[in-house]
Amino acid sequence: MSVSGLFLILFLLVHLTANLSSLFGAELFNKVCSFMGSNPIVLAMVPILAAGFAIHILYASILTLSNVKARGAKRYAVSNKGPATSWASKNMFVLGVIVLGALAMHLTHFWAQMQLREFMGLDTIDPYQLLTFQFSKLYMVVVYIVWIIALWFHLTHGFWSAFQSIGLNNKKWIKRWQTIAYIYATLIAIGFISIPLYFYLFVS
């Protein structure tokens, strides 16, 4: 669970870096998309990334069901104010479902229209024009912002708890990882939210 989570955290940073190129114009963004769609290393990472998501979701579901079964109706009887009892920690599965739902929409509206079409040998759609079209719709912008807010909450707990799970769980380092988690999650959220807002307000 922690290893797959850290893998996906790293992917988010790479994905955001590529997407932020869209803020610098169509030419740069389309070149980045072309590179990502033709680079053999990137192509080889696609099934690995899919497996990472699948493993993460599977383990999350198993852990959630196990916790519910173990605690039963008394799972809220004890109020623990420890570091792992934040609102995000209590709602990681729900947040994950929101993220997964928005991810499915993202895949159908973007990935399926670009990389998937290229994999299938079909005519590709101009990536910058696709962004402009999709983010000209207010509901798409709102859905993406809600998605990223849910992702922010998910990351603020998931980031540091992943390091705790692999053994970096002493009091000194946990406080540091928690601080880093909030900084990382906030930067990721600001970066991703800036893209739909930019296209909706200034491009479309």
**Residue % of the chain over a pLDDT of 90:** 36
Cβ 100 vs Cβ 58: under 8 Å: no
Q: What is the mean pLDDT of residues 91-101?
A: 84
201 or 115, which is more confident? 201
Domains annotated for the chain, with CATH where assigned, are 2-65+89-203 (1.20.1300.10)
Read off the pLDDT of residues 13-69 as tens digits, 9 standing for 90 and up: 999 999 999 999 999 999 999 898 888 888 788 788 888 878 877 887 787 778 777
* Summary mean pLDDT of the chain: 83
Residue 81 pLDDT greater than 60, yes or no? no
**Residue 78: is its pLDDT beyond 80?**
no
20-24, 120-124, 168-172 — which one is most confidently predicted on average? Answer: 20-24
Q: How confident is the model at residue 72 (pLDDT cuts 50, 70, 90)?
A: low
pLDDT at 1 over 90: no
pLDDT classification of 136: cutoffs 50, 70, 90 = very high
Can you tell me which residue has the tokens 């708890």? 161
Residues in the chain: 204
pLDDT in tens, 145-169: 999 999 999 888 887 777 666 666 6
Model pTM?
Answer: 0.83
Lowest-confidence range among 56-60, 78-82, 93-97, 193-197? 78-82
**Is 82 a residue whose pLDDT tops 70?**
no
- Cβ atoms of 41 and 187 within 8 Å: the answer is no
User: 97 in helix, strand or coil?
Assistant: helix
Q: What is the pLDDT of residue 43?
A: 78
pLDDT of 170 reads 62
Among the listed residues 127, 123, 132, the one whose alpha carbon sits nearest the alpha carbon of residue 110: 127
- Per-residue pLDDT at 15: 92
Read off the DSSP letter of residue 15: H
Q: Do 95 and 157 touch, CB atoms closer than 8 A? A: no
